[in-house]
Structure 1
Amino acid sequence: MQNIIVFFAAAFFEIAGCFAVWGWWRLDKSALWLIPAALCLGLFAWLLTLVEVEHAGRAYAIYGGIYIVASLAWLWVVEGARPDRWDMIGSLVCLIGAAIILYAPRDV
């Protein structure tokens, strides 16, 4: 359960950092938006080192599914655009894939 919390926290900080860059570049916000962008992206990278997975690549694969769900939550909560049924179906498929990778029995 701790891994899931860390993955979602990492997703929040990555999306917030990327959105700050998006705001600066695409929404004509101040270049000062790049400061929280850099801090958020650094925190995102650090958080991924805290997950209890034996290989970085596997952590990134699991994170990918969670990132998609978190991105759609951001779309809805921050940008005010409600995900459609295809977004929801796609995110469910991704979460199932991430869960299989995370919880599969492995010969370690």
Structure 2
Amino acid sequence: MQTAAAFVVAALAEIAGCFAFWAWIRLGKSPWWLVPGLASLVVFACALTFVETGAAGRAYAAYGGIYIAVSLLWLWAIEGLRPDRWDIAGAALCLAGVGIIMAPRAA
């Protein structure tokens, strides 16, 4: 449960932080958007340290699939664009990969 929460917090924080840069550069928002954006990126990096695995690379690899799924939720909830069937299929495939990467291993 701690791992799932860490992944979701990390994804939301990373997306929000990166979106702040998108808003500044692509949408012409104030550079002040970068202040909460940078804070979000710090939260993102810290959140991944709470993933229950002994290897950082494995946590980052599995996180990639969660990031993709949460990005599509962001697309829908924040940007108002509903993911299509290809988005959903791709996210499902990535989440299957997360399950494989995070599966328990023999010692």
TM range (shorter): over 0.9
Q: Which amino acid aligns with 1:106?
A: R
How far did 1:106 drift? 1.5
Matching of residue 76 in structure 1 with residue 83 in structure 2 = no
User: Is the Cα contact below 8 Å between 2:2 and 2:50 reproduced in 1?
Assistant: no
How far did 1:107 drift? 2.8
Q: Which amino acid aligns with 1:41?
A: L
The aligned counterpart of 1:90 is 90
The aligned counterpart of 1:107 is 106
Deviations 1:53-91 (A, max 9, x none): 110000001100000000000000000000000000000
Give % identity. Answer: 57
How far did 1:50 drift? 1.1
Q: Following superposition of structure 1 onto structure 2, how do residues 13-92 of structure 1 map, counting pairs within 5 Å?
A: 13-92=13-92
Runs of 4+ aligned structure 1 residues displaced above 6 Å come to: none
Q: Which segments of 5 or more consecutive residues in structure 1 lack a partner in the other structure?
A: none
Q: Which segments of 5 or more consecutive residues in structure 2 lack a partner in the other structure?
A: none
Number of paired residues?
107
Cα separation, 2, equivalents of 1:29 and 1:86: 31
Tell me the SS of whatever aligns to 2:97.
helix
Which TM-score applies when normalising by structure 2?
Answer: 0.97
User: Is the Cα contact below 8 Å between 2:9 and 2:47 reproduced in 1?
Assistant: yes
CA RMSD after TM alignment: 0.7
